[in-house]
Amino acid sequence: MTETNYDVVSVGGGPAGLCAAMYSGRGMLKTLVIERGLTGGELLNTDVIEDYPGFESVKGPELAQKMTDHALKFGAELVTDTVKSIEKREDGDFDIETELGKTYRAPTVILTAGGTPRKLDVPGEKEYAGRGVSYCAVCDGAFFKGEVLAVVGGGDAAVEEADYLTRYAEKVYIIHRRDELRASQIIQKRAFANPKIEVIWNKVVAEVHGEPKGVAHLTREDTQTGDTSRLDVGGVFIFIGFTPNSGLVKGHYEHDAGGYIITDSNMMTSISGLFAAGDLRVQLVRQITTAVGDATTAAIAVEKYLAEKRDKELEAVAST
């Protein structure tokens, strides 16, 4: 079944997708948002947000709901489904195919699908996923009250999540492969001041071990000597980055070595009519503010793109 009555489809319902839908809906464009789960994206995995203008402190899920309500207020439609592919047709429109067997057709698409967490790809990780191996502290932290936990990674997300987990855990180890963290200084300062956090330098997780109820301990490997050792923990939270969901697009488009999409200043990709915003786009930083900034530009650019497209079609008709 193909639905064709949309001006623009936003693929992804995180901050970028919802902001884009709010702007395009407000611009009187028939707008659809396709999101595979609850709207909000990574906001749902964030406990407290302190760097979004106008909100000195706001819960991630609360901000997600406000963004969703705002988009719906201006007429955007929301579908819960998983996009399988985005393909440009010969007539210039796009077909967006989903897992539920639907095909949505529109002259423009704003891709805001974010990314998926990167895995360690070590023995035991897959086997104990959901039983002690997690990629979301906010989602699963409350299940580990009184436990000793490990967080793998050294960036902002890893250090912030380690700090968050201390509200439940007895102790949290941050395991990092280097001798210094990549997290911003303000986040590091907060972590180092937390008596429940201990950083384990120059180590990687070589294997996750468990028992029927879940994770029991880890095998650590020293990145300098290769020596291994045991670390007893009741859970491990992995924050080593994510892979952009840019592979949904069929056909060639410009991207960097990591698969992040290259756009122009209007958020247009190298495929005419296909725009990208948020975390899957090549940029210096990936924050909520940059995601909604991208989306604002993309939505307004879509409106201008469609207006120009209609003018050209009218000129073509008038000249025949």
Measured distance CA(316)–CA(304) in Å, rounded: 18
Quick one: which of 140, 123, 122 has its CA closest to 131? 140
Measured distance CA(117)–CA(128) in Å, rounded: 16
**pLDDT band of 142, cuts 50, 70, 90:** confident
Quick one: which of 239, 21, 29 has its CA closest to 115? 239
- Equal fold, 2-117+242-318 vs 133-238: yes
Catalytic residue among 47, 81, 136, 222: 136
Catalytic residue among 7, 19, 140, 294: 140
The pLDDT of residue 286 is 79
With a CB cutoff of 8 Å and minimum separation 6, the contacts of 202 are 176, 177, 178, 179, 222, 223, 224
Read off the pLDDT of residues 16-64 as tens digits, 9 standing for 90 and up: 999 999 999 999 999 999 999 999 987 887 777 888 999 988 988 999 9
Active site (annotated) includes residue 140: yes
Domain ranges of the chain: 2-117+242-318, 133-238
Catalytic residue among 139, 179, 256, 264: 139
Measured distance CA(199)–CA(220) in Å, rounded: 13
Read off the pLDDT of residues 218-227 as tens digits, 9 standing for 90 and up: 999 999 999 9
Mean pLDDT of 232-258: 91
Read off the pLDDT of residues 262-278 as tens digits, 9 standing for 90 and up: 999 999 999 999 999 99
pTM: 0.75
DSSP β-ladder status, 148-152 and 48-49: unpaired
Spatial contact of 291 and 279, defined as CB atoms under 8 Å apart: yes
Q: If phi over 0 gives left and psi between -120 and 50 gives alpha, with beta otherwise, what is residue 308? A: alpha
What are the phi and psi torsion angles at 173 (to 5°)?
-95, 135
Read off the pLDDT of residues 170-220 as tens digits, 9 standing for 90 and up: 999 999 999 999 999 999 999 999 999 999 999 999 999 999 989 999 999
With a CB cutoff of 8 Å and minimum separation 6, the contacts of 86 are 11, 94, 95, 96, 97, 109, 111, 248, 249, 250, 274
Question: In angstroms, how far is CA 274 from the centroid of its own chain?
Answer: 19
Spatial contact of 20 and 114, defined as CB atoms under 8 Å apart: no
Structure-token pair, residue 320: 């025949």
Quick one: which of 221, 218, 166, 229 has its CA closest to 192? 166
Q: The domain at 2-117+242-318 falls in which architecture?
A: 3-Layer(bba) Sandwich (3.50)
Domain 133-238 has CATH 3.50.50.60: yes
